[in-house]
A = this chain, B = another copy of it.
Amino acid sequence: MAKITLKEIAKRLHLSPSTISKALNDSYEISEETKRKVREFAQRHNYQPNPLAKYLKLGKTNNIGVLLPNIQTSFSAQLLRYLHKSAIHNSYNFILMQSIDNEKDEERALLTLTNQGVDGILIAPVSETSNQQLLSDIHNNNCPVVIFDRIHYNLDTHKVGIDNVRSTYLATEELIKINRKNIIAFCGKNIGVTQYRLEGYRKALEDYNIPIKEENIIYIDYRKSLTKIDEGLKKIIIRHMRSNDPPNAILGTTETLTTRVLGVLADLKIQVPKEIAVIGFSNIEFANSLNPALSTVHQPTEEMASTALRLLLDLINSKRDRSQIDFQTILLETSIQLRKSTMLT
């Protein structure tokens, strides 16, 4: 806070800067007497070391960069919260960036981060191939990168996420168990994980000998305008409900789609779960407030955050040649939380 510097203290105390530095850093070389005096003076004058100078000297910033596509979901908010908690706990700060699901913004954010000086980067990439060269350059130079959430990405480093195939497999299975076999799958467009989540859906249907209707797999690109998503969903649902083989269940592969679809169904007065059962990815805390209480695939955000951060700090503090490290991909377990939207009683 205060403007006083180490040098200034030295002058006022008739000591040298190095003595002050050592005293404040509790060096064994300095007498208790002097330490006391220095500390007392520093405190009284509210001395705060200049972090830039310190980090310049030390060659690190104690900042890590966190780059998320979008912070508008409960999933992201939780991730952020726990990342923050872990970071602080390890005496790191984080600089938050958003790519808004957009390669150009992602690139800009990455440049800003490196430019700004971060000791490492945690990223959920926009797509499977976005900014590959850049990210690889960054990673292979000074600044280790750990990938989380959207782990299907071609970079040789630690990755922390969930088993997307298995998660949707289990969710789909829940629908099949209640005999809802005509299932619409709503997917985000071009998100790295989409294909894998769909794979689980397909596999489950196959395993239960249910024919896959390609027209039941629907991509919705809501990244640009969240406002139009409701209209889009509405049109599609109406069309399907009017077909001669109307669906009786919906699987949402992203939180946004899963939660939004409920509003559209309510608006269309389509009864859930009576006419259509709904299950999908969502970490929303108040699933019970939804119409109706929503069955969800829930991701372990706290574990994901702490694991990703731990791996990143390992890389930052590791002296070893980056190519010597065998990188791991950690898949955390999701949990299925059944609520009214899939309960037929």
Contact = CB atoms under 8 A, between A and B. Distances in A.
A50 interface: yes
A154 interface: no
B117 A50 contact: yes
A50 B56 contact: yes
A340 to B, nearest CB: 9
Interface in A133-155: 137-138, 141-143
Interface in A110-134: 112, 114-117
A249 interface: no
Contact of A286 (B49, B78, B94, B260): B260
Interface in A55-110: 55-56, 61-63, 71-72, 74, 76-78, 80-81, 84, 88, 93-98, 108
10 contacts: A1-B138, A51-B116, A52-B56, A52-B117, A71-B77, A72-B78, A93-B112, A259-B286, A264-B288, A290-B291
A72 B93 CA distance: 19
A141 B2 contact: yes
Given A63-B95, A80-B96, 14 more contacts: A1-B141, A52-B52, A52-B55, A53-B56, A71-B80, A71-B81, A84-B96, A263-B286, A263-B290, A263-B293, A266-B293, A289-B290, A290-B290, A290-B291
Contact of A77 (B72, B94, B259): B72
Contacts of A93: 95, 97, 112, 116
Nearest to A51: B117
Contact of A291 (B72, B80, B226, B289): B289
B98 A285 contact: no
B289 A263 contact: yes
Nearest to A60: B52
A17 interface: no
Contacts of A50: 56, 117
B52 A61 contact: yes
Interface in A290-336: 290-293
Contacts of A115: 48-49, 51
Interface in A1-46: 1-3, 46
Nearest to A46: B137
A143 to B, nearest CB: 7
A267 interface: yes
A230 interface: yes
A160 interface: no
A114 B46 CA distance: 12
A80 B66 CA distance: 14
Contacts of A184: none
Contacts of A3: 141-142
Contacts of A193: none
A175 interface: no
A266 B47 CA distance: 56
A237 interface: no
